[in-house]
Chain A
Amino acid sequence: MAVYDVVVIGAGNGGLTAALTLARAGRKVALLERHNVPGGCATSFVRGRFEFEVALHQLSGMGTERMPGPLRGILSEFGVLDKLEFVEMENLYRVVFPGGIDVTLPTDRQGIVEVLGGLFPKEKDAVASFLDLVYTYSLEMVQGVFFRDPLISKEKYPTFFRYTFRNVEDVLDEFFTDPYLKAILSVYWGYTGVPPRLMPFSDLAVILWAYIEFKPFHLKGGSQALSNALLDAYLKAGGEARFNCAARSIEVEGGRVRAVVTEHGDRLETSYVISNASTVHTYLDLVGSHRLPQDDLLKIKGRTVGPSAFTVYMGFDCTPEELGVFETSNFIVATIDMDSASEKMRTLEPQDWAMFSCYDVSDPDFSPPGTCQGALVCLQYADPWYRVEPHAYAETKYRYADAMISLAERVFPNLRAHIEECEAASPLTHMRYLGHPGGAIYGFDQYAKDSAFFLTNQSSIEGLYHAGSWVTGGGFQPTLTSGRSTAHAVLKAIKGR
C-alpha cells in the first residue's frame, strides 16, 4: 500500500504551490488532479489558430526585478522564475462609459491624479487624498498584518483599524461627489463580484495598491505556462503527481485523516490532506456530511457560493489597432448604478459591466501575426443557468454571448466583423471543468464577513487542510500564496507530532 506524508487534492494554483512547498521540504507527497494538466482555472485552450487564455487577466504582486513584489519572491523561491517570461502591461486600465467618459489610468500614482484631475478638475485634490489613503492603508496592512508586527494596535495603525471593514461606497462618498469618478476608481468591484456598497474597502485598497505598486503583468504562454512550471518544479523536487485521477473520498477515523481513495479505487494512506477542491465538495462529498464534524458544517453554512463567470473568447483576423483596441485591459460600464449591475449577475439579462482583455496589446506575440484575441468577461452566478432546459442550453449560451458582444461593440464597433474563432464559456462550463458548486471561480462570496480575519485553512478534522480560493480570496496571487502558507502550517503540524 502507498503511504504518503501528505496527499494534495487538486492541482490548481493553491494545490500546486502547496505540493511544491511540501516536496521541497523533503516530504513524500502525492498530488491528485482530475484533469489531464495542472492549473485548474490557470489554463488555456485552442480554437483554429488561436490559443485562448482562460483565466489570467492581470497578474498582481509581481513587481520588477529592481522592485520585486511578493509573488515574484515566491516564484523565485520555487525556482520557476527563469522558466517564465513575464510581460508588464503599460497601463492600469481603460474605463469606457459608452457614449460618455473614456479614460485610461496609468500605473503610477501621480499619473492617475493628473489624468483624473484633468477630467474632474474640482476633485483633483480628492483623488490625491484618496490614493494617499489607499497607500497608507495598504502599507499599514502589510506592516501590521503581513509582517505580523507584535506591537500591532489601533494607535500604531489607525487607518488599518478604521478602514478595513468599511464599505467602498461609503469611503468613496467621503472623498468624491461625481458618480463617474467613483465608478472609475472602484471599477475593480466587477472583478470580485461584490458591488461597492458591500465590498470591503480593504479589498479595493489592496487591489489598487498592488497593481499600482507592482504593476499588472501577463506571461508568455499564458497562465498554463505558470501551472506547468510549478508542476515541473514539483516533479523535480521528487513529488508524485497523478493526472486523470480525482479523489473519491477522504477516509477519517477517530477524528483524524487516514487515507485518500482515488476514483480508480487506489487507497493512499496519509495523515495529512490539503484539499484544493472546494470546501463544499471536500466536506460534503469527499468526507461525507454524515461524518463531518458539526463545526465544519457550520463553517460553510455561514457562507454563500460566489459568482462564476461568462467569457466570450474571440480570435480576430486583424490587429488590435484595426479594432480600435489600444489598451490590454478595458472595462466597459453601461451604468453607474453598480447595485443594479451586480443584480444582473444573477439573471440572464444583458449585462451592464464587462471587461475586455486584449493581451496582444502588451504582448504582440500572443496571437499569430496579423491577428489578435480578446477575452470578454463578466461575472455571473450559476443560479439562472440551472433553470435553463438542457435542450435550450446552447442557444441560451449563444444568445447571452451575443448580448455581451453587443455591449463591447458600443466601444469597439467592428468586433463581430473580424471574428475568426469564437467560443463562449458559461458558469456551467466552469462547473464542468472545475467541479465547483455554482461553477464558482473565486470560491465563496467575498463580503466583509468572508475576509481573511474570519477564515481558517484548517478543518476540525485533524490533518485536513485547505488551499485555494475557497479559504482565501480569489485570484492568482491570493491562491498561489495560500497553497504555500497552508503547506507551511502542515509542515509545522508534522514537526510537532
Chain B
Amino acid sequence: MALKDVLHDIEGYDELEREIEILRKYGPDHVERAEEAARIMAVLHPPRLSLKVSEIIEETPSTKTLRLVSAKGDLLPPFMAGQYVNLFVERDGVRTSRPYSISSSPTQTAYYDITVRAVEDGFVSRLLLEDTRPGDVFESTSPAGTFTHNPLFHGDDLVFLAGGSGITPFMSMIRETADRGLDRKILLVYGSRDPGDIVFKDELERIAARRKNIAVHHVISEPPEGYTGLAGFITADLVKRLAGDVTGKTFYVCGPAAMYERCLAELASLGLPRKRVRTEAYGPPKNVTAQAGWPKHVSADDVFTVKISGGRVLSAKAGEPLMVSLEKAHIQIPAQCRSGECSLCRTKLLSGTVFHPEGARLRKSDRQFGYIHPCVAYPLEDLEILI
C-alpha cells in the first residue's frame, strides 16, 4: 500500500479532484501568457536599445548633444531623471561602451539626449564628437542608475553640485522639475573652467528666471580678466553662503573624478550625515596604482594571462580594468555602469587575485566566493575566470 492508493481516503480529496477537472475545462488559459515577462520588459526595461542619432546639437566648443531616437521608430522606455544609458561603440575593431547620463527631461521619451564633452585621450568621446553623423545607429542598455531623486528619503530641498559635463543628470532633473512644476527647491552650483565652457547656460538661466524654486550659480575656475561672477572651486564656504542652513538639504555631486575628491572633502567639513550626500558613479580610477591598497610589487605595465574556463587565454595589463582587456580580445561580457556599482558584469574568479578600488560594490558573498566586477577589477597575477 502506498499513499497513492489511499488518497481518496483523505477528507476533501474527491472534491478537489472535481475542482481540478472543472478548472482544466474552464480555467484560465495561459497561452496568452507566452513571453509575458519579455513583452512587458520590452516596454519598461528592454535589455538592449537600438538608438539612432537624429540631431547633433553643438552646446559649447567642446561639447555636443546627441539626440537619440529609437531606430525602430517607437517610444523609448521611461527613465528617471539622473539615469544613464551605456552606449556601445566600435572603434578600430574593438567594441567597448561608455555610460552617459540622459540630459533630456523624462517627461517625454520620443528621444533621449546625451551630452558629450571632449576628454583628453577620450577614445569614445572623440568618436562621438568627431565621427558621428545623424542617421548613425548605436546599441545601448536601457536607462539605469541610482543617482536619482528618491522621494522616500531625499526630501524636497536639494543642492546640486556639478562640475563640467557632470551637469547632464542635473539638467534632466531640472528640466523635469520645471516641466512638471514639481514642488522641489533646487540650488544648482555649477563649476566650469571658463564662461565659454558652461553647458546649457542659456536654458538654465531661462528656467531660473521663470521658476522661483530653481536657483543657478556658476563658479568659474579659470575666470578671464574682468570676470565678476563667482570664481574658484566649489568650497564649503561657498556652499554655506549660497545654501544657507544645510540641515535637511540633500546634496548631489556629479563631475569629473578630481571634483569628487575636492568637493566631498569640502562637504565633509559641513558635517552632513551620509544620507544627505549622493554621488554619481564616476568610472574606473585614472591611475589605479595610486589607490590605497595597491600592492607595491605590481606595476601598471605588468602583463598577466587570463584563462577563460573552457575557452581562450588572453593577456591583460595590471593597470587596465579586466573588462577592457576582454574587450580588446573581442570577448564581450555584460557592461553597464563601468564604475563597479551596478554589478551587471559580475564574474566568477576561479583562480588568481585582482585589485578592486574602494567603492567597488562587492557583497560579502562575492568576497567569500570569488566574484569580481571586471569593469573595475585589475589583475595582480594570472587569472582564470568563468563566463
Interface residues of chain A, those whose CB is within 8 Å of chain B, are: 36-37, 44-49, 51, 144-145, 148, 150-154, 160-166, 220-222, 224-225, 227-229, 231-232, 235, 240-241, 243-244, 280-281, 283-285, 289, 297-298, 300-305, 312, 317, 386, 390-391, 393-394, 398, 401-402, 405, 416, 419-424, 428, 431-432, 434-439, 448-449, 453-454
B343 in contact (CB, < 8 A): yes
Q: How many residues of B contact A (CB 8 A)?
A: 65
The 8 A CB mask of B356-367 against A (1 = contact, 0 = none) is 000001111100
* A390-B78, A419-B152 given; A280·B30 CB < 8 A: yes
Contacts of B6 in A (CB 8 A): 152-154, 161
* A153-B6, A431-B40, A437-B36 given; A302·B369 CB < 8 A: no
Q: How far is the CB of A161 from chain B (nearest CB, A)?
A: 5
Please determine whether B275 and A419 come into contact, CB atoms closer than 8 angstroms: yes
Q: How far apart sit A19 and B150, CA to CA, in the bound complex (Å)?
A: 41
The 8 A CB mask of B181-214 against A (1 = contact, 0 = none) is 0000000000000000000000000000000000
Contacts of A285 in B (CB 8 A): 34-35
Q: How far apart sit A49 and B371, CA to CA, in the bound complex (Å)?
A: 18
Q: How far apart sit A235 and B346, CA to CA, in the bound complex (Å)?
A: 17
Please determine whether A144 and B24 come into contact, CB atoms closer than 8 angstroms: no
Please determine whether B41 and A394 come into contact, CB atoms closer than 8 angstroms: no
A44-B365, A305-B33, A437-B36 are known; give 18 further A-B pairs, CB within 8 A. A37-B346, A46-B361, A154-B6, A161-B10, A164-B10, A165-B11, A165-B12, A166-B12, A220-B364, A221-B364, A280-B30, A284-B34, A284-B35, A301-B23, A391-B106, A398-B151, A424-B152, A449-B19
Please determine whether B2 and A150 come into contact, CB atoms closer than 8 angstroms: yes
Contacts of A301 in B (CB 8 A): 23-24, 27-30
Please determine whether B275 and A289 come into contact, CB atoms closer than 8 angstroms: no
Please determine whether B37 and A302 come into contact, CB atoms closer than 8 angstroms: no
Contacts of B364 in A (CB 8 A): 51, 220-222, 225
- A-B contacts, 11 listed (Cβ < 8 Å): A153-B9, A154-B6, A154-B10, A162-B11, A165-B11, A225-B365, A243-B386, A297-B31, A420-B275, A439-B37, A453-B3
Please determine whether B40 and A391 come into contact, CB atoms closer than 8 angstroms: no
Contacts of B27 in A (CB 8 A): 301-304
B258 in contact (CB, < 8 A): no
Contacts of B151 in A (CB 8 A): 398, 402
Contacts of A45 in B (CB 8 A): 343, 363
Q: How far apart sit A398 and B40, CA to CA, in the bound complex (Å)?
A: 20
Q: How far is the CB of B321 from chain A (nearest CB, A)?
A: 16
Within 8 A of A (CB), among B1-20: 1-3, 6-7, 9-13, 16-17, 19-20
Please determine whether A144 and B333 come into contact, CB atoms closer than 8 angstroms: no
Contacts of B152 in A (CB 8 A): 312, 398, 401-402, 405, 416, 419, 422, 424
Q: How far apart sit A228 and B348, CA to CA, in the bound complex (Å)?
A: 10
B253 in contact (CB, < 8 A): no
Please determine whether A284 and B33 come into contact, CB atoms closer than 8 angstroms: yes
When C-beta atoms are compared, the residue in chain B nearest to A163 turns out to be B11
Q: How far apart sit A463 and B4, CA to CA, in the bound complex (Å)?
A: 23
Contacts of B7 in A (CB 8 A): 453
Please determine whether A221 and B363 come into contact, CB atoms closer than 8 angstroms: yes
